[in-house]
Amino acid sequence: MSKAQKILEKMRHNPKADWTIEHVRTVANAYDVIWDRPSGGSSHETYRSKSGSFRVTVVAKKPIKPIYIKFFVEFIDKVKKE
């Protein structure tokens, strides 16, 4: 199991942990998800599937709120099914 898969499983089972945007990026990169942070000092990052079918926004403030981790895990599950 890769590092990204381990992080994803931990996110799935404990979204309330002290997750950082680096954890989210690690998982996103492993699943070929495109991510960007809008210019202008925004605290949000947007993650998109390669096909553009799915998208999720995560607030990059530390720690990331559990609801954003739940949304991100659901997003990755959809990307894996593509």
- Determine the pLDDT at residue 48: 95
pTM above 0.85, yes or no: yes
pLDDT tens, residue by residue, 22-50: 999 999 999 999 998 776 677 889 999 98
Predicted confidence at residue 38, as pLDDT, reads 72
Amino acid, res. 25: R
Instruction: Work out the mean pLDDT of the chain and round it to a whole number.
Output: 92
Torsion sign (Cα): 75, 79, 81, 82:
positive
- Cα–chain-centroid distance for residue 53? 16
